[in-house]
Each structure stands twice: as C-alpha cells, then as structure tokens.
Structure 1
Amino acid sequence: MLAVLSGEKHPPDMHPIEQSAVVRYTDAAGLADALRDADALFVYDFLSTAVPGAWHGSNRLRWLHIASAGVDPVMFPALRESDVVLTNSRGVFDDSIAEYVLGTILAFAKDLPGSLRLQQRSTWQHRETERIGGRSALVVGTGPIGRSIARLLKAAGLRVSGAGRTPRDGDPDFGEVRPSTELGDYVGEFDYVVAVAPLTEQTKGLFDANAFAAMRESARFINVGRGELVVTGDLVDALREGRIAGAALDVFDTEPLPVESPLWTMDNVLVSPHMSGDVVGWRNALVEVFADNFWRWRAGQPLRNVVDKRLGYVPSTN
C-alpha cells in the first residue's frame, strides 16, 4: 500500500499508479492512520512538517519519497535510525532556480525594482546601471542546483567559485571549491553570494552577523536554499546598516513571511514566496520522478536519488 501526504491538492498523473497499487491520500491530520500497513510514503506536500509526529503510525514502511530537493522536513532521528530508504526529487528544479538567480542578479545590476517604483509614480529619472560581466559570484552549495547556477552565471559573464563540504581545485563548474566552514575568510571577495546549500546541522545559521560583516558593502546576498541557513535578524541588521547592498530572498525561516517583517518594505530587498523553482509543469515533473522510482521499487531495481541519511542529501556519486 502507498500512502500519499497530499495536502490540499492531490498530485496529478497518479492514475497509472492507482491502477497498480492501493493508494491512500491523506492530509497531515490523518497521516498516522494512513501510515498503518503502508509500504511506501510519498510526501507530495513537501512543506509539511507532519511526518515526525505521525511516524508512530508506521509499522511496515520501507520507502519514503519527498517531492523536493531538500529533505529537512522529514529528517528526524527515528527516520535516520530506521531502515527506511529515503529518496528526493533532485533534478526537477535545477535550471529554473538557476534562471531565478540570474534574474535577481540582473534586477539588482539594472535596478529594475527602482525603475518599477519610478514608473508607478510617473517619474522620469535617468540613472546609470551596472554590468554583470566580469563580476564575481560565490555559490554556497555545490549540488546539482548549485552547478546549474554556476554554469548559467558563467555563461552570462560572471566569475564563479563554489563553497561546499569538500574543498577542491579543478572542479568543472566551479573551478575552485572552498570549505563552507571557513566562509568568513573569503566571502568578502565576491559581488554576489548565492546560498543554495542543503539544511544540515553544519549549515544551519551559516549566514550570521559574522558572515555578513565579512562581505563587501556592495555585495548582494541571494537565498534559494533554505530559510534556516540565515539568521534573519542578523540579515535585517546588515541591510539596515548598509553592511551589504541588498538581498533577494525566496526562502525564509518562517513561511509565509510574517506581514510585520521589515524585509517586505526594504527598497534593497527582493521577496518571493518560495517559488524560484516552480515553473509551469513543475508538479507533473515531481510526479514523474516519483513514478519512475515507484516502478523501480515495484520491480526491485535500484532507486534514483537515494539520500544519505547521515549527510542529509544525495551524494554526488549516487
């Protein structure tokens, strides 16, 4: 039996699977009951935090698939210690998130938000803008999404380096990859800093007051990873005090972003509601990845995108 945590909307294109297995759709409130006698769980509602609290209901679960690249909503001790195989939807969002990052860099360089504000006031005000060619970008997170970002930014003329768990030279996409544990030592060399790292115990709060103090005052910070990578209060202070020039934020430690957050009204901040990877057809693509693994699982074949539960992400060799 397959349990599907679907939230308000059921996933599309599930008919072939429904023809081959007993599928039980549920919301968060009914998840514990749905897990009883379920062999597999598809967490389609990937923002839900219901799985840890409902875990006691599972008595024969062997496989959990989440419809996102990040697995932190389902990464809790009981799952880590179990024999349940965890897979994710790695590969669906790579190019669309890269395009979002390039779009925000262009928006900052060409002052597109400023033009829109002036247009809304019917104000003709000539300004000079910036080139992005020759500027430098640090991509913190060297998985598939980070690699897509690096390739697109390099194609647009930026100089790109990476920061990750394992430092190395000669990387095909980043050239040099520096250790993210030493971020403060080199983050000040870059015009744009892009956060796309998975959320782990090592990366939580990585961008704090010290990190922002080490950046250039002209630097822009872009977060398309996880909100918890950032100490939000420290970011707000850095923006208010001019320690960095701006931020583009697609993810937040509290979502939806509270209406009272000062980030909403800062002229040097671009806010989007966790949508950088969500292009037309993305829900179907998520189901395609799950369905491919479902048929592999039914046939006893190796699954794609198996997460190393000690690391919290899919190793690059997997």
Structure 2
Amino acid sequence: MRQIIALMITTLITLTAQAGPSPQVQAMINELGLREAAEPMREHPGWAPGKIVAAVPPTMLQAMPGYQAQLEAAAGDAQLVFATRDTLTRELADADAVIGFCSPDLIQAATDKLLWVHNISAGVDRCPMDAFDQRVLTNSKRLMGPAIAEHTIAMLMALTRNLPLLINAQQTGEWLGGPARNMPFGELRGKTLLVVGLGGIGTEIARRAHALGMNVTATRNSSRSGPDFVSYVGLANELHKLAGEADVVVNALPLTTSTTGLFDGEFFNATKSGAIFLSIGRGKSTVTDDLMAALTSGQIYAAGLDVTDPEPLPADHPLWKMDNVIITPHLSASGAGTVQRVSALTVENLRRYVAGEPLLNKVNTQAGY
C-alpha cells in the first residue's frame, strides 16, 4: 500500500511539473466552465515571483496526500513558505503572493509587494476589494458547485417528503401514520424551480433540477444567456415576477451591497403562495425575521437553510424550533470532491503564476464576485 501511495504522489508531482494544466484540471475547466484571466501575469507591473506564502489549513494538507509536494513542485524556483496562523503576519512582510483566506487582517499585514492573492474558498465577501486596484484576486468559484447542488436537492427532497418529521420519529421508535403521509407540496416533476444567481453553483443546481423533470428559470446580473436546461433567464429586476411563478426559489447569490437583505418581506409577499425557499448563498442576503413571518403565515411552505443571519445561529433562535425548516451549518460545499478540486486549482494557479500565464477564476473586484 505504501508503494502504491508513493507511486501516486510521484505521478502527481510529475504532472504538476509539466507545462500546461494536468488532465484533472483540464477536465475541470471543461466541465465547470472555469475561465482564464484576459491578461497573463507576466504583463502585470511588479510581477517577479520571489516569495509565495501558503496558509493552507492543516486539514486540507492531511486530506490530500502529496498536496504539499505538488505545491512545492508548482512553485519551481520561487520560495514557497508554509505559514501557520501564528507566523502568517510575519511571513507576509516580504511576500509577493499568498494562498489562503483573504481578510482585512491579511491585506493589512501585506506590503505593496503583494501582487496575487488566491482565496481558497469561493466567497470573497470578507476580502477588502478596494485593496485590489493593482493586485489580482482569484478564488474557488464553481469548484463547490457539484457538492452544493447535491446538498440543495437533498434539502428540497427532504422537505417535500417529510423526512425531518420521520427522522425525529425514528429517534423515539414511533411508527407515524397520518401526519407523515400528508405531503401537500406534491412531486417535483413539472414544478418550476427559480435559481436566483445563475453562476457556477446556480448552474449546477439548475442542471440537477432539470434532470428531475422540473422547469428551471433563473436570474443573473450580467446577461440573459444560460444553458439549454434553463427555460428562461431573467435579469435582476425580474426577480419578483419570476418568484411569483416558481414553486421553489433557490438563493445562490454572492453577498454584495445589492444582494444584502434582498430576500425581505416584499420579496416573500411576491412569491407564489406555498413555495419552498432554499438558501445556500450567504445568510445576510435574507432578512431572517421576514422569512420567519412568511413561514409562519404559510406564504412559504418550508425552507432549507445552509446559511443564516446571524451565523452561527444562536442555540435559542426560534428558527431551530420551526418544524418546516431544515438548517445545516454552512457545510453544503463539504466533501472529498470539493477538496480535490480546490487543491488541484490551487496547484494549477500557482504553476501559472510562477510561469507568468493567465490565472483561472479571477475575481471581478468591482462586482464583488
């Protein structure tokens, strides 16, 4: 077994050292629609790979045998330093690139020499965008899409099939009759699901909902374009109209100034009566009190929430006690597949940075995602 693992690691390192993306990364680019930046890194003023700091969580290094060696191989002749929480500030003092989690503290500890920040997670709402006029920010957008989409569909099916009620009954050994058999929402086939935010994650949710026989509509900020399995793509100003026609609404939006508090009382009043609301974007995009009011009145049939406001949700918060709500602790992106994709992209972007090539998953810092 050790010989097999050693051979796998050697193979991964060899692939990393080759010019161009590995077969795994090329497959991700094709399947998830990862995009290259328009300009190669070598054209950026100040590009001179010298010291790169990797503030990678220990759990990530442990989950991927050979990951550290892949990063070292991708860094080539550049100095790659693995930093801990205690040493990160010190190591950033003379770094031109950092791999980790972007935050105000990280940016404050850096100098003008810092050119590239790779944010390991997809969300960049904690990253100060005004610090990127001359810097480049990349992230893990689209990589979490498959896992989050499956989690979203799992919450939807659990709510329509009364699984929370049945699981609670299982704990007490109760064989439920009438209450458990009452499933007024009905089957998913033929119903309409609205994806609010047709980005990488929203597209993966739409793909799975369509496969279940649902009619899928969506909104997006940038254009009306979308895949064949989405019947209609509206702009942001069509949200209330489309919500009034949907049996299920999925919040897959990033958190920006314009999306904060978007799902409020006015929105829930505009939804189709008895719709299901699923939120896997960011908690602060939903006004919690307004959602609870809609759930209590029956305007919203049920809700599946992987994100909340506040977050973490306090133990005494009334949302926990609502029997038509599923709450998961912001873990929809979790899973071995996500870790593998994030690791592979990080290695590839490090290789590209050192080689001066265009990076993948560049963040539009003006738009905030």
State the TM-score, normalized to the length of structure 1. Answer: 0.88
Farther-moved stretch of structure 1 (238-247 vs 204-213)? 238-247
- Report how far residue 98 of structure 1 moved: 1.4
- Report how far residue 265 of structure 1 moved: 1.4
8 Å Cα contact 1:166-1:177 kept in structure 2: no
Question: How is 1:109-128 mapped onto 2 (pairs within 5 angstroms)?
Answer: 109-121=160-172, 122-126=174-178, 127-128=181-182
Question: How is 1:260-299 mapped onto 2 (pairs within 5 angstroms)?
Answer: 260-299=316-355
Structure 1 unmatched runs, 5+ = 314-318
Q: Which of 46, 49, 54 is the aligned partner of 1:4?
A: 54
8 Å Cα contact 1:72-1:200 kept in structure 2: yes
CA gap of 1:148–1:72, structure 2 versus 1, over 3 A, is: same
1:71 aligns with 2:113: no
Whichever of the two has the greater Rg, that structure is 2
8 Å Cα contact 2:249-2:276 kept in structure 1: yes
Q: Distance in 2 between matches of 1:236 and 1:30?
A: 43
Structure 2 unmatched runs, 5+ = 1-50
What residue number does 1:316 align with? none
SS of the aligned residue for 2:89 comes to: helix
Q: Which amino acid in the other structure matches residue 70 of structure 1? A: G
- Report how far residue 34 of structure 1 moved: 2.7
Farther-moved stretch of structure 1 (33-42 vs 297-306)? 33-42
Q: Distance in 1 between matches of 2:139 and 2:128?
A: 12
Q: Give the superposed CA RMSD.
A: 2.1
What residue number does 1:132 align with? 188
Q: Distance in 2 between matches of 1:155 and 1:10?
A: 32
What residue number does 2:143 align with? 92
Larger RCO of the pair (alpha carbons < 8 Å, separation 6+)? 2
Instruction: Map Cα deviations across residues 27-59 of structure 1 (whole Å, 9 max, x no partner).
Output: 2x654323211111112xx4xx7x213423212
CA gap of 1:147–1:170, structure 2 versus 1, over 3 A, is: closer
8 Å Cα contact 2:147-2:337 kept in structure 1: no
1:236 aligns with 2:292: yes
Q: Which amino acid in the other structure matches residue 69 of structure 2? A: H
Q: Which of 186, 203, 210 is the aligned partner of 2:242?
A: 186
Q: Distance in 2 between matches of 1:202 and 1:279?
A: 30
Q: Which amino acid in the other structure matches residue 293 of structure 1? A: N
Q: Which amino acid in the other structure matches residue 26 of structure 1? A: T
1:58 aligns with 2:110: yes
SS of the aligned residue for 1:38 comes to: coil
What residue number does 1:173 align with? 229
- Report how far residue 201 of structure 1 moved: 1.4
Q: Distance in 2 between matches of 1:134 and 1:37?
A: 58
CA gap of 1:8–1:255, structure 2 versus 1, over 3 A, is: farther
Q: Distance in 2 between matches of 1:115 and 1:139?
A: 28
Give the count of matched residue pairs: 305
Q: Distance in 2 between matches of 1:16 and 1:68?
A: 19
8 Å Cα contact 1:40-1:62 kept in structure 2: yes
Q: Distance in 1 between matches of 2:94 and 2:159?
A: 52
SS of the aligned residue for 1:203 comes to: coil
What residue number does 1:201 align with? 257
Q: Which amino acid in the other structure matches residue 322 of structure 2? A: M
Q: Which of 55, 59, 70 is the aligned partner of 1:16?
A: 70
